Amino acid sequence: MQNTAEQNAAQQNASTTKVALVTGAGQGIGRGIALRLAQDGFDIAVADLDFQAEKGAGVVKEIQALGRKAVFVSADVSERDQVFAAVQTATDVLGGFDVIVNNAGIAQVKPIVDITADDLDKIFRINVNSVVWGIQAAAAKFDELGHKGKIVSAASIAAIQGFPILGAYSASKFAVRGITQAAAQELAPKGITVNAYAPGIVGTGMWELIDEKLSEINGKPLGQNLKENVDGIALGRIETPDDVAKVVSFFAGPDSDYVTGQVLLVDGGMLYN
């Protein structure tokens, strides 16, 4: 049977339009990544916790205004079944699955001597287990769809050098680095690349919280801890979500096809390797 021009066009679109799922995309760095990948031509699943649904819907509208398809998916990334369900929803609604960005994460601001078992359990479930679930869900979906894919996760400067009073957080981000290196080697035979971005001091809700908690601990005025950290950045300004999104765009796109297992510092010049 001969295809009509319309069928050909639909097939062409299905084979060229790519789908990315970004976790923690209701605000901050995740929102920046979702918008950038939409500009790159991806249709986007905006995943976040249920209480972020309104913000997520706003990001969906921003993506649609860029001419791409988008959907909000409610998911707690610490729950394996919710991550798998989010990948399935993205595939069903957007018609494919090519990239996962395991971006969602939390910070905890506490001296090591005060960290509890519950603290560690919580931060590892959200920052580390989530990355494993995201890798598993994406790799299974790429297999099912019979193509390669890209997995990108959020590390941090705290994945390269321990950050004082962010000990549990640093440990969780070191773990993301280890998982990224291991998964890259395991999944390379399938043509799946696994990389991570390591931002420095990004002006989001996370640093508002870190600054506030540090100030409670060390008595410095609000804004002072943030300022001191920004003062140490060689490029002389605080980082924006867009600065981070440019690196994720590279990892999600074809220019990084020969790059895997890497954790790329995007910190304006704080750490050097």
Ligand X SMILES: NC(=O)c1ccc[n+]([C@@H]2O[C@H](COP(=O)([O-])OP(=O)(O)OC[C@H]3O[C@@H](n4cnc5c(N)ncnc54)[C@H](O)[C@@H]3O)[C@@H](O)[C@H]2O)c1
Residue 232 phi/psi, 5-degree rounding, is -85, 5
For ligand X, which residue of 44, 78, 151, 263 counts as binding (CB under 6 A)? 78
Which residues here bind ligand HBS, judged by CB under 6 A?
Answer: 107, 156-158, 163, 166, 200-201, 206
Choose from ligand X, ligand HBS, none: what does 77 bind? Cβ within 5-8 Å by kind: ligand X
Instruction: Tell me the C-alpha distance between 91 and 269, whole Å.
Output: 38
Residue with tokens 């995007």: 266
Nearer to ligand HBS, 101 or 166 (CB): 166
Nearer to ligand HBS, 63 or 157 (CB): 157
Binders of ligand X among residues 115 to 134 (CB under 6 A) are 126
Concatenate the DSSP letters of all residues of 222-233 into one string: TTHHHHHHHHT-
Specify whether 169 is catalytic.
yes
Distances (CA, A) of 206 to 124, 151, 183, 210, 225: 17, 23, 27, 6, 13
Q: Return the H-helix or E-strand segment holding 73.
A: strand 70-74
Q: Is 156 in the site for ligand X (CB under 6 A)?
A: yes
Choose from ligand X, ligand HBS, none: what does 249 bind? Cβ within 5-8 Å by kind: none
Nearest of 111, 95, 187, 203 to residue 149 by alpha carbon = 187
Nearer to ligand X, 23 or 249 (CB): 23
Q: Is 154 in the site for ligand X (CB under 6 A)?
A: yes
In contact, 73 and 86? CB cutoff 8 Å: yes
Query: Could you tell me the smallest distance in angstroms from the CB atom of residue 11 to ligand X?
Result: 34
The answer to the question of whether 63 is labelled as a binding residue is no
Taking CB atoms, the residue at the shortest distance from ligand HBS is: 156
DSSP state of 166: B
Positive or negative: CA dihedral 216, 50, 194, 61: negative
Q: Is 48 in the site for ligand X (CB under 6 A)?
A: yes
For ligand X, which residue of 184, 202, 264, 265 counts as binding (CB under 6 A)? 202
Distances (CA, A) of 81 to 129, 183, 262, 269: 12, 20, 27, 38
Annotated binding site for NAD(+): 27-29, 48, 76-77, 103, 169, 173, 199-204
Contacting positions for ligand X (CB under 6 A): 23-24, 26-30, 48-49, 52, 75-78, 103-106, 126, 154, 156, 199, 201-202, 204-207
Annotated binding site: 27-29, 48, 76-77, 103, 169, 173, 199-204
